[in-house]
Chain A
């Protein structure tokens, strides 16, 4: 997956539609909003809370920047390289496969 694909998914964000139960107060403060960011990105806010969250974002540059930073964080964490598989380990794993197959064929 390229970072652009990942970015697209992060930006869409909503693949986990489980609503959280506790309602948040009518007007969100910035300090409350930052605690809800993960629930927002996971699609776990109720429709009302999501509306409040987005209404706050519309009027608050600081919180928009914060949300972008969290999205950037997810992107950066995703950029941590995967280690290449050590060829010796691969051969060990293949050896256990051959062992398994020879027993199975008996």
Chain B
């Protein structure tokens, strides 16, 4: 549930005139700091609700926008346009999809338009399937005999995984590996594993099939795993 309440109005006077206190009290009493409660408050023009939503989702939106457009200022503009789109559409938002899905969809439409202006297009339909890269280097399996297809160089368990995987150094390795991915894989792993969006949400926002979403996720994760394995075994061998 994160960071609510946030963004206190500048003065008590303003707070009163904006209805902030009343809403806060009502929200606190009913516990409606969830998306549905915030949507309801936003429809009534409640600034605190808007600020709470902005704090909850803007980082996600910026991250996604920057996948489509290369210029950070353009990405920030796309996010701004998205929030304006949210405000303009909030009365029509029907809650058939989750708020997050709905906002991300608005963002991606705007980001695609901005990407076209930059002369970039990203295709999710094309998986580049001519030569699908294997998850693991084929050299690490026996290529003949009765053990064909079995590990010849099996992976080792990582020592103290939580501590090492969440260290600052490892994070840099992960960020480099993700940055090196083709765009459609990068967006998919970002939505799924950084932003923690559901598979249904991801495929719906990107407009791709369940199967394609899994293929992209699979390739992205296996690429990052290989980078981590190279890094962590280096560390192990040179203590």
**Which A residues are within 8 Å of any B CB, using their own CB?**
1, 3, 6-7, 15-16, 18, 20, 29-32, 34-35, 37-39, 42, 44, 60-63, 65-66, 68-70, 72-85, 89-90, 92-94, 96-98, 100-101, 104-105
A76 touches B228 (CB 8 A): yes
* Contact among A20, A34, A66, A74 with B193 in the assembled complex (CB-CB below 8 Å): A74
Residues of B within 8 A of A3 (CB): 162, 166
B155 touches A7 (CB 8 A): no
- Cα distance, A87 to B177, chains bound together (Å): 30
Minimum Cβ distance to chain A for residue B169 (Å): 11
Count residues of B near A (Cβ-Cβ below 8 Å): 60
Determine the distance from Cα of A42 to Cα of B60 in the docked complex, in whole angstroms.
22
For residue B89, give the distance in angstroms from its CB to the closest CB of chain A: 11
Which A residues touch B63, using CB under 8 A? 82-83
Inter-chain contact A75/B165, CB cutoff 8 Å? yes
Instruction: Spell out B's residues near A (CB within 8 Å).
Output: 7, 45, 47, 50-51, 54-55, 58-60, 62-63, 76, 79-80, 83-84, 87-88, 134-136, 138, 141, 148-151, 154-158, 161-162, 165-166, 170-171, 174-175, 178, 189, 193-194, 196, 198-200, 210-211, 214, 217-218, 221-222, 224-225, 228-229
A60 to B83, alpha carbons, bound, how many Å? 51
Q: Which label, helix, strand, loop or mixed, suits the secondary structure of the A interface?
A: helix
Question: A66 touching B155 by the CB < 8 A rule?
Answer: yes
Residues of A within 8 A of B229 (CB): 69
